[in-house]
Structure 1
Amino acid sequence: MRRARLLSVVVIVLCGAIGVISSTQTWLTVELADGAHHTLEVPGASAVPVLAPLSLAVLALGAALSIVGLVLRYLFGALAILIGGTLAWLTAQVAFEHPVSAVASVVTESTGIAGEKAVAQLIATITASGWPAVTLVVWAVLIIAGGFVLVTARGWAGTGRRYRTSDSTTGDAAKSAAPAGPRPHDAAGSHAIDDWDDLSRGEDPTA
């Protein structure tokens, strides 16, 4: 349990980092049926437009998980599962189906031809690199990490005490240990209301 927080944070941050890196790598290679057999490389960010922003969200979520309280631990664990499931579904489509929609933006940018049907007629083949499969495994790990957070969150140690300074802690202890007694009076004399309070406690305000 003492290492559960560290393990969860490290795994989730690594998943987010790999997702960001993956978004810059080539996921699909498109060969155009234009006679010249031009090839186009499609990065992960083009194949799955939400890949980069959601990966950055996972990074932030993992970092914040290191300091949040119990309620937010459960919330962040659920978010990790939700984001991981969404990205896994989108990544699996690219990895196994190679849809035209995943390459349409790159083909349109290169040829100037828009529309999924028109783009499909230009494409001879679409092949996938290893990055979609690797990234799919990463999202599976993220889902498991989110579930691990939900299961172990209650046993994590609190973080509030580590942010308190020794001075403030000492001051609190001194306040709690200070004996109750009459309030000090200044050299000029006390206010009348303080004198009445002293009398009501059975103390001599002139002493």
Structure 2
Amino acid sequence: MLRRARMLGVLTFLLTGGIGIISSTQVWATVQRADAGETLTVTGAVLFPLLAPLSLAVLAMGAALSIAGPVLRHILAVLGVGAAVALILGTVPLVGSAPLAAVAPAVTEVTGLGGEESVGEVVAGVTSTPWPVITLLCWVVLGVASVFVLVTARRWPAGGRRYRSTAESAHHGSGPLDSVDSWDELSHGTDPTDSAR
């Protein structure tokens, strides 16, 4: 069960981070222009500039979580909660109809007009696509997964033998020690001649 908990935590971080990166390249809003009768598409990265960097950070946390020790797991879980909160707070205002201030950079790039009043005169309306809602749901899942990791990470099984060095495996092995093993024991700070062994 705990092995599945690790896998579930890692996969959730990777999946939500990946969806966040994908969503940053997708159209989050369409702007109807009053001056030209055209529509302008605005991507998630333009509406929410921190979307791609934070999503990439979540993806990296998922990769690190797959090999992290107990202390680092808790640190990554706390960072995951923080990232989820920041992403939720950044995404919520963009659900429904993005504010004029969010689409202003895209309008300015196309029209050359600056300032909220000038941009407001050429914008007839802003319509959101489903992407902000999809992304918001991902951040809620990320928050829940981060809390789950925080609660269960201490009881996750340790990494397998493949993560141990040869010397460490020999150190924990059983049976009599030869001269090479004795040197390995000394390098670990253990006296191989100790009678307690």
Aligned partner of 2:8 in structure 1 is 7
Written as runs of structure 1 = structure 2, the 5 A alignment for 1:26-105 is 26-34=27-35, 36-105=36-105
CA drift at 1:167:
7.1
Pairing of 1:121-200 with structure 2 (within 5 A): 121-159=121-159, 161-165=161-165, 169-170=169-170, 173=173, 177-178=176-177
2:113 maps to 113
Match of 2:96, SS state, is helix
- Matched residue of 2:137: which SS? helix
Counterpart in 1 of 2:192? none
Higher mean Cα deviation, 149-158 or 160-169?
160-169
**SS of corresponding position for 1:85:** helix
In the TM superposition, residue 2 of structure 1 has moved relative to its aligned partner by 1.8
| Structure 2 equivalent of residue 25 of structure 1 | 26
Q: Which runs of 5+ in 2 are unaligned?
A: 180-197
Equivalent AA in structure 2 for residue 124 of structure 1: A
Q: Could you state the TM-score of these two structures normalised by the residue count of structure 1?
A: 0.80
Distance 1:2 1:167 in 2: 26
SS in 2 for 1:17: helix
CA shift, 1:79, in A, is: 0.9
Larger radius of gyration: 1
Rounded Cα–Cα distance in structure 1 between residues aligned with 2:150 and 2:168: 33
Contact persistence 2:96–2:127 (CA under 8 A): no
How many angstroms apart in 2 are the aligned matches of 1:130 and 1:179?
Answer: 67
Instruction: Name the SS for the 1:121 alignment partner.
Output: helix
1:166 offset after TM fit, Å? 5.4
Structure-2 residue corresponding to 1:205: none
Deviation above 6 Å: which 4+ runs of structure 1?
A: none
Residue 159 of structure 1: SS of its match in structure 2?
Answer: coil
Q: Measure how far apart 1:162 and its partner are.
A: 2.9
Over residues 50-95 of structure 1, what are the superposed CA-to-partner deviations in whole Å (9 max), with x where a residue is unaligned?
0001000000000000111111111111111111111111111011
Partners of 1:109 and 1:179 in 2: how far apart?
74
Give the gaps of 5 or more residues in structure 1. 181-207
TM-score of the superposed pair, with normalisation by structure 2:
0.84
CA distance in 2, matches of 1:179, 1:18: 54
- Aligned partner of residue 95 in structure 2, secondary structure: helix
Matched residues, number: 178
Query: Once the 2 structures are TM-superposed, how far is the Cα of residue 171 of structure 1 from its aligned partner?
Result: 6.8
> 1:75 & 1:172 partners in 2: Cα distance?
29
Q: What is the identity percentage for the equivalent residue pairs of Structure 1 and Structure 2?
A: 48
Instruction: Please provide the CA RMSD for this pair.
Output: 2.0
